[in-house]
Structure 1
Amino acid sequence: MRKKESKIIILTASYGTGHLQVANSLYQECANKGMTNVKICNLYAESHPFISEVTEKLYTKSFTYGKQFYKLFYYGTDIIQNKKMLRWYYQYGLKRLTSLIQSEEPDILINTFPITAVPEFRRRTGVVIPTFNIITDYCLHSLWLHDDIDKYYVASNELKAKIHSRGVPVSKVVVSGIPIRPAFSESHDKMALYEKYKINPEKDLILLIAGAHGVLKNIKEICETLLLTTDHQLAVVCGNNLSLRNELAHLNNRYDERFHCFGYIERIDELYRLASVMITKPGGITLSEATATGTPLILYKPVPGQEKENALFFSEKGAALIAKDREELLLSIDSLLKNKEKQLSLQASIRRLYLPTSQGMIMTDILNESEKIMRIGYPSSIKSQKKKVGS
């Protein structure tokens, strides 16, 4: 008899693009395995669209105008041990989640964002749906942790040890790496890429990633200084930030052969491979992508919270430099590009952090673990438990 295909819901949130990218990577892996009964749900946007839109904008602004507020939120919620004080967050999205589970009757739930309504559903109803957390940074925030999460997938042994120190059995934590797009694992003809992007292979290329919302600041001033004082090539990826592209347009005219300005690039992995150094914010996905290509990194002005913690991890591993202001950034670029030995050391260190085929390992393990969980004999009838929800 043919085994029934598992129905999977991947739950995510659009606070930054990383959580959505991981969800899409897992979705694509399921498709590659021939699994068609898979759905991505942006739970907060679906349950509270107005609040979600406002908080997403506040989240983006917090990287520039509200750093202290975000610092207080990130570290403040992390040190709160009394779950009653976070009860509002544990219930956030629960009503929509309950409706989704009742209508879809999933066999597996996967979180790419710390959506605590998911394990809270199990606690309230007694209905066990195998539930898994994919932690999308190199650091730990306590909101990811819950007694009713069946397994965690993390980026490093250090993060596994930290989770274990919080009382989670080591058997429930898998060092898998963070899922990234398969393109980053492909091999390429570098000379063909130089020709494609009209980049001179004889000169160093500095790659600046502005971020999905243009959160890398002072780019115009940084570019002007580098173009005036060095002979290096610059490539800036602005994403969907049209105003930034317009702001940099005059540099295209003045430095046609040395300056390259791009909007959103689907195959950004190709630019990673050509860069002598990349300046970026230390988001978990960007860092994971760089481990695949071995691109030397300078992490610019990390914001307190997961950015700072990610940056410190990579710095301690010898896999990146940190620049706290524009002057330090310019000095770091200059010293790095003059020291090929230092470049090679950064490349070697960052490549040691690379864990290939993360999404394949994760999905295979999730499917196997789900079967084990359901064989235990937990209550499986979702509809019969509907009245318990919300009590």
Structure 2
Amino acid sequence: MRKKRVLLLSEGFGSGHTQAAYALAAGLRQLSPDVQTRVLELGKFLNPVLAPLIMSAYRKTVGKQPKLVGMMYRTNYKRSFNRFTQLAIHRIFYTQTEQVIQQLKPEIIVCTHPGPNAAVARLKRLGLDVPLYTLITDYDAHGTWASPEVNHYLVSTPVVKRKLMERGIPPARIEVTGIPVHPQFWQVQNQAEAQRELGLKAMPTVLVMGGGWGLMEEEDEFITYMTRWREEVQLIFCTGTNGKSREAMLEDPRFVHPNIRVLGFTKEISKLMDASDLLVTKPGGMTCTEGMSKGIPMLFHKPIPGQEEENLEYFIRSGFGEMLHSSGTIDKWFRMIQQPYSSGEYRQTLMSKRNQQYDPLECPTAVLRLMH
């Protein structure tokens, strides 16, 4: 008997869209052995020369001119892709999409980025008979996600569902499932055990992340201020794929200390969260959802204007974290995590909130139900 095939299409604008696709794929396989998944960054797969150039330009813009990114996000906030735009996107980036689908023969397609979503929606309008599910990977609903050809939307919160309804999507086609996280994040490991397995010291620990692209600068005033606590707090800096940032930090005396680790790309984020008492991070949709799944308190730093601001608002409003406004915010939290009772009690409170608002199994379970 042939396994049921799920094709997950994403793009590499940031790491969250593709992370969500891989997380959902892993969750589906974990829950149902008869499911076969394939994740593709579609533009990169079809245009291996052009796509990396576009991604590189976007990454530089995010790093150097984040306000421009925010302006572009807000300018087109309420606009969905019209038919002319869909045609242009298809001709420029996705001309071979139909052939890919015909070759892989999926039972369903899940899109975690608006670009592939628009391409598949156009093919459905022209006769493609494969169900299209759209997973929105942030805590906001930009207009470019909306398309009448989508069979079902999987969204993070009731607020996102309402925004889609305001754009004309029938409520029966929108399901609040939360954003999926990899099965590694479904459970929480004992902190002492995680610290021991990672070779960390048994002391208050702070995990600092700059997102998948490692948008972290060693000269950032808050990043350097944290190093003043290095005698009392263990600091783990994750610079993602940003090798230059990691090298600069490793050459800076402020970051050279037995209680400080500077990591590059790592697959140990789940265990690092288990080992830590506090997460300092950019408010990307995936990282924040992973943090919520672990019940770790979060300090949010330097949101990219646009969807990260919406993510920030949701998690602060829900009580999972606080904006990093000043060095005083750092002092307050770093003192708190040195008090085991207060730190443990706060984390138990967050886990209780998580259990009320979020079930990491809900999204893959919903997709399996829709498939059948």
- When normalised by structure 2's length, the TM-score is 0.86
Counterpart Cα distance in 2 of 1:139 and 1:73: 15
Equivalent position amino acid for 1:21 in 2: Q
Counterpart Cα distance in 2 of 1:104 and 1:349: 41
What whole-Å deviation, never above 9, does each CA across 1:239-290 have from its counterpart, x for those lacking one? Answer: 2333222222256897533212222221211221232221111111101101
Aligned to 2:284: 283
Aligned to 2:303: 302
Shift of the 131–205 alpha-carbon distance from structure 1 to 2, 3 Å rule, reads same
CA drift at 1:39: 2.5
Contiguous gaps of at least 5 residues in structure 2: 337-341
Partner-residue secondary structure (3-state), 2:76? helix
Counterpart Cα distance in 1 of 2:198 and 2:222: 22
CA drift at 1:90: 5.9
Contact 2:187 2:294 in 1 (8 A): no
| Bigger radius of gyration | 1
- Superposition pairs of residues 182-331 of structure 1, within 5 angstroms: 182-201=183-202, 203-218=203-218, 221-228=221-228, 231-250=232-251, 256-323=257-324, 328-331=325-328
Contact 2:156 2:177 in 1 (8 A): yes
CA drift at 1:321: 1.1
How many residues get paired? Answer: 360
Equivalent position amino acid for 1:8 in 2: V
Aligned to 1:379: none
Shift of the 245–68 alpha-carbon distance from structure 1 to 2, 3 Å rule, reads closer
Equivalent position amino acid for 1:68 in 2: K
Q: From 5, 11, 24, give the equivalent of 1:26.
A: 24
Counterpart Cα distance in 2 of 1:244 and 1:65: 14
Counterpart Cα distance in 1 of 2:94 and 2:247: 43
Identity of counterpart residues, as a percentage? 22
Counterpart Cα distance in 2 of 1:10 and 1:42: 9
Shift of the 226–102 alpha-carbon distance from structure 1 to 2, 3 Å rule, reads closer
Higher mean C-alpha displacement, 44-53 vs 213-222:
213-222
What whole-Å deviation, never above 9, does each CA across 1:150-181 have from its counterpart, x for those lacking one? Answer: 00111112222222232222221111111111
CA drift at 1:86: 3.2
Aligned to 1:371: none
Higher mean C-alpha displacement, 157-166 vs 130-139:
157-166
CA drift at 1:82: 7.7
Contact 2:110 2:133 in 1 (8 A): yes
Equivalent position amino acid for 2:5 in 1: K
Aligned to 2:331: 334
Shift of the 105–268 alpha-carbon distance from structure 1 to 2, 3 Å rule, reads closer
> Does the alignment pair 1:107 with 2:107?
yes
Counterpart Cα distance in 2 of 1:219 and 1:253: 11
Counterpart Cα distance in 1 of 2:181 and 2:23: 6
Aligned to 1:131: 132
Partner-residue secondary structure (3-state), 1:244? helix
Contact 1:132 1:150 in 2 (8 A): yes
Shift of the 147–319 alpha-carbon distance from structure 1 to 2, 3 Å rule, reads same
Shift of the 228–166 alpha-carbon distance from structure 1 to 2, 3 Å rule, reads same
Partner-residue secondary structure (3-state), 1:95? coil
CA drift at 1:136: 0.8
Higher mean C-alpha displacement, 255-264 vs 348-357:
348-357
CA drift at 1:46: 2.4
Equivalent position amino acid for 2:239 in 1: C
Contact 2:226 2:330 in 1 (8 A): no
- When normalised by structure 1's length, the TM-score is 0.82
CA drift at 1:299: 1.0
Shift of the 16–73 alpha-carbon distance from structure 1 to 2, 3 Å rule, reads same
Counterpart Cα distance in 1 of 2:75 and 2:141: 14
Contact 2:23 2:181 in 1 (8 A): yes
Q: From 342, 360, 364, give the equivalent of 1:360.
A: 364
What whole-Å deviation, never above 9, does each CA across 1:202-259 have from its counterpart, x for those lacking one? Answer: x432211122222133466544432335632211112233322222225689753321
Counterpart Cα distance in 1 of 2:227 and 2:65: 31
Shift of the 127–195 alpha-carbon distance from structure 1 to 2, 3 Å rule, reads closer
Counterpart Cα distance in 2 of 1:162 and 1:291: 23
Aligned to 1:155: 156
Counterpart Cα distance in 2 of 1:181 and 1:101: 25
Counterpart Cα distance in 2 of 1:107 and 1:355: 25
Shift of the 6–227 alpha-carbon distance from structure 1 to 2, 3 Å rule, reads closer
Counterpart Cα distance in 1 of 2:37 and 2:179: 20
**RMSD of equivalent CA atoms:** 2.7
Counterpart Cα distance in 1 of 2:288 and 2:255: 32
Contact 1:281 1:300 in 2 (8 A): yes
Counterpart Cα distance in 2 of 1:204 and 1:71: 36
Aligned to 2:339: none
Counterpart Cα distance in 2 of 1:188 and 1:347: 13
Counterpart Cα distance in 2 of 1:31 and 1:350: 24
Contact 2:218 2:248 in 1 (8 A): no
Contact 2:136 2:145 in 1 (8 A): yes
CA drift at 1:80: 3.0
CA drift at 1:346: 5.9
Aligned to 1:120: 122
Shift of the 121–232 alpha-carbon distance from structure 1 to 2, 3 Å rule, reads same
Partner-residue secondary structure (3-state), 2:64? coil
Contiguous gaps of at least 5 residues in structure 1: 369-391
CA drift at 1:293: 0.8
